Each structure stands twice: as C-alpha cells, then as structure tokens.
Amino acid sequence: MTVARPDEVRRFNRSSLLRLLHTGGPTTRAALATALGLNRSTIKMLVDGLAEAGLVEERVPRLAGGAGRPSLLVLPQPQAAVVLAVDVRAEHAGIALVGFGGQVLGRNSWNLHGRQREPEEVITHVAESAALLADDLGLRPLSAGVSVPGVVRRADGLVRASENLHWTEVALGQRLGAVLELPVVVGNDAEFGALAEHVRGAGKGASDAVFVSADVGVGGGLIAQGALLRGSAGYLGEIGHMTVRPGGRPCHCGNEGCWETEVGEAALCRALGLPEHGPRGAIVAELRALQDDCDTRLAEYLNWLILGLVNVVNILGPELVVLGDLFTALPDATVAEVGEQVRRRSMVSRALGGVRVEKSRLGADLKLLGAAEAAFAGVLAAL
Ligand SMILES: [Zn+2]
C-alpha cells in the first residue's frame, strides 16, 4: 500500500475544490466542507490559498438567516483562469473565451463556405479572432478546446475525416497548437456535446448518459460512470452509422441503411416535404409550427428515431438520453411520446425503471461549452 504524501493530498484536495467551484458556482465554505468530506479548518486553508492566487473571492451571504455566524460564500473569479473554446461546424465557426466557473466572457463567429472551409483558412481565422478577442478583453487563455464534426484521434487532435467539412487527415491539434502557442484538445462535436450536458446541462448528476445529436449527420457522445467514454484512440459514438434498414439508402460512410439516413437532417426534410440541403432555419420553423400532438407526416421518421434509441438504450443502459441540435426543434409532446415508446420497447429501460429522454437545453452554445470543459480538464488540474 502506498501512502500519499501531505503535499499530494493538498494538491488533490485543491483540485477537487477547484472542480467543485467550477461546476457548482458560488458555494459556502460549509457546503464545500460537506461535499468534499473535509473539516472546516482544512477548507479555510485551501480557500485562503485560492483567494491569494486570485481564483476566488469570499463574501458574506446576503440572506444569512438563523443563529450563529453565516458561512462565507466562495465565488469563482471567471477572469482568473480562461480557456479558448472553438466550435467548427459545416456552415459556421465560433470562438469564445470561457472563464473559471463556465461563464462565456466574449465571443465571435463567422460563416464558412467554399474556400473559407479549407483547414488553413479556418486555422488562420481562429488564431486571428482569438488574438483580437483576447486583446479586447485583456485576457490570455491557458488552453484551447476545439469541437469538430468528424472522427478525431484523441492523442494529438488529428481529424481523420470530416464529411461535413470535406476534411481528411488534417493535423488540426498540432497546427492550431503551434499557431496559438497553447495546449489544444480537439474532439468530436457530439462527444463535446455530451461533456457539456454532463457538466452544465440535463446530464448533470447522471453517471451514465447518452447524448444523441442530429446536425447534418447524426452522432453520439457517451458518459459512462461519470466520465466521458473515449473508446480506443478516441473513435467511438458513431451511432448514426448503425445499420437499421437493410437495403436502405446509401450512406456517405460506404454502408447503406444507416440510422443517419433515416433520422438525419435530410430525412427530416423529406418527412416534412422540404427540399433536402435547404436552409436550417426553414426546417426549424416548420418543426416549431407543428402542433404539439404528433404530426402524421413525422410518423415514419419518429418510428426510425425510436427504433434507434431502443437499440442504444439496450446496449448502453444509460439513465438519461439527451437529444441535441435539430432534435431540440421537435415539439415537447413529441419528445415525450418518443420517450414513452423507448421505455415501453426497451428491455433495459424496463429493468432500470425507465430511462429519461430529454431535449438539450443548452442551446447554440452547447459545443462551445463542451470544448471549454475539455480544455478546463487540464487547466484545473494544474492551477
Ligand atoms: Zn453510414
């Protein structure tokens, strides 16, 4: 048995405290002591250290009812540790500086089409925008997280393939790292969506969750036992490419009858009678205009959605499925009905006493927030 040295214990406690404040926001000293199982003098010492480093401030809570001295409120200071978050999509790219505690401190975005979608152009634009934003805010990021719709190698951020961006074998992590002079973590967009939901969204507190998003393609991110599931080398979650319909439509992945061809953006357009590859706004408007009771036009589409979700739940046994991107435009009643059907048809859900199926509530910032969390993982451990 190895015994941890006092400085190792202190470092571990400090980083647990930082993580708690980063995800939970302002918390009283007493609540921090309870959450970490530490006594009040240890918490005081740790918080004093963080205050000295400018990472937190302490304040007397405004409404301190009851007898006795109120426990001081510990507030994370967003500007004290900042990361750069980058979200590259088929149609546009966005960057944000995100502070300790998860607050977006500033942002910028631009459209991508034609030549602007070339890796070199994207890298240059990200670097220039990040420098301008950092100068405007007077902040310097410590690390960067980059969300990409594609298959990404975890170790070095090599984008193996991105159908949406028309990229193959792009050393994005290395090239951005060299230009930004920062540690860079690149990840698949659905993976980072799952991370954002886990830390800040519907998945908070859920130890096992699946995030399924329909953008142009359909992707998945998995939280297993409280952590992001990474697979070997970072490749996993391509649930859009499970075969659901033998003899179905050909898919860009080389297979046919993939789930993505039945529940992706193009399938939704066909179901609604809209032209494929039309503007995203038209699809969302059409979905928002639907009555809350199931529209018959969507009946077959929803059957495919349910069939895929039943498979996913039976294989992975999550307590929660979060639907992201285009799926969030589905009416609430429709999503409730999808959840009912999944619970009824999945053996694992019945054994679990019912898996929850919910829409993402983090909105358009979801991937940016996930990219920020990926960057913060290394930053918080080193502060
Ligand atoms: Zn496919």
Type of residue found at 117: R
Return d(Cα 52, Cα 50) in angstroms, integer: 5
The DSSP H or E segment spanning 23 is helix 6-24
Question: Which whole number is the average pLDDT over 26-55?
Answer: 95
Return d(Cα 20, Cα 165) in angstroms, integer: 36
Confidence of residue 61 (pLDDT cuts 50, 70, 90): confident
Model confidence over 177-202: pLDDT tens digits?
A: 999 999 999 999 999 999 999 999 99
Task: Please tell me the distance between residue 259's alpha carbon and the centre of ligand 1 in angstroms.
Answer: 7
Model confidence over 111-138: pLDDT tens digits?
A: 998 888 899 999 999 999 999 999 999 9
Task: Please tell me the distance between residue 280's alpha carbon and the centre of ligand 1 in angstroms.
Answer: 21
At residue 91, the pLDDT reads 87
pLDDT at residue 292 tops 70: no
Task: Please tell me the distance between residue 253's alpha carbon and the centre of ligand 1 in angstroms.
Answer: 4
Q: Taking all residues of the chain, what is their mean pLDDT, rounded to a whole number?
A: 93
Task: Please tell me the distance between residue 239's alpha carbon and the centre of ligand 1 in angstroms.
Answer: 9
Model confidence over 203-233: pLDDT tens digits?
A: 999 999 999 999 888 999 999 999 999 888 8
Place of tokens 């967003």: 78
Question: Which whole number is the average pLDDT over 265-276?
Answer: 94
Furthest C-alpha separation in the chain: 72
Task: Please tell me the distance between residue 320's alpha carbon and the centre of ligand 1 in angstroms.
Answer: 25
Task: Please tell me the distance between residue 233's alpha carbon and the centre of ligand 1 in angstroms.
Answer: 20
At residue 120, the pLDDT reads 95
Please name which of 366, 85, 76, 333 lies closest in space to residue 203, comparing C-alpha atoms: 366
Share of the chain above pLDDT 90, in %: 83
Please name which of 233, 182, 138 lies closest in space to residue 375, comparing C-alpha atoms: 182
Could you give all domains of the chain from N- to C-terminal order, each with its CATH number? Answer: 6-61+68-76 (1.10.10.10), 80-191+370-382 (3.30.420.40), 204-361 (3.30.420.40)
CA 70 to chain centre: 36
Model confidence over 300-335: pLDDT tens digits?
A: 999 999 999 999 999 999 999 999 999 999 999 999
pLDDT at residue 293 tops 60: no
Task: Please tell me the distance between residue 216's alpha carbon and the centre of ligand 1 in angstroms.
Answer: 12
Task: Please tell me the distance between residue 268's alpha carbon and the centre of ligand 1 in angstroms.
Answer: 16
* CB count in 10 Å sphere of residue 8: 11
Please name which of 366, 300, 360 lies closest in space to residue 330, comparing C-alpha atoms: 360
Task: Please tell me the distance between residue 258's alpha carbon and the centre of ligand 1 in angstroms.
Answer: 5
Task: Please tell me the distance between residue 79's alpha carbon and the centre of ligand 1 in angstroms.
Answer: 43
Task: Please tell me the distance between residue 255's alpha carbon and the centre of ligand 1 in angstroms.
Answer: 5
Question: Which whole number is the average pLDDT over 229-255?
Answer: 93
Paired tokens of 243: 């075969």
Instruction: Write out the DSSP string of 332-359.
Output: HHHHHHHHHHHHHH-HHHHHHT--EEEE
Type of residue found at 259: W
Place of tokens 């498979």: 311
Model confidence over 296-305: pLDDT tens digits?
A: 889 999 999 9
Task: Please tell me the distance between residue 267's alpha carbon and the centre of ligand 1 in angstroms.
Answer: 13
Return d(Cα 193, Cα 322) in angstroms, integer: 10
Cα Rg, the chain, nearest whole Å: 22
Task: Please tell me the distance between residue 256's alpha carbon and the centre of ligand 1 in angstroms.
Answer: 6
pLDDT at residue 342 tops 90: yes
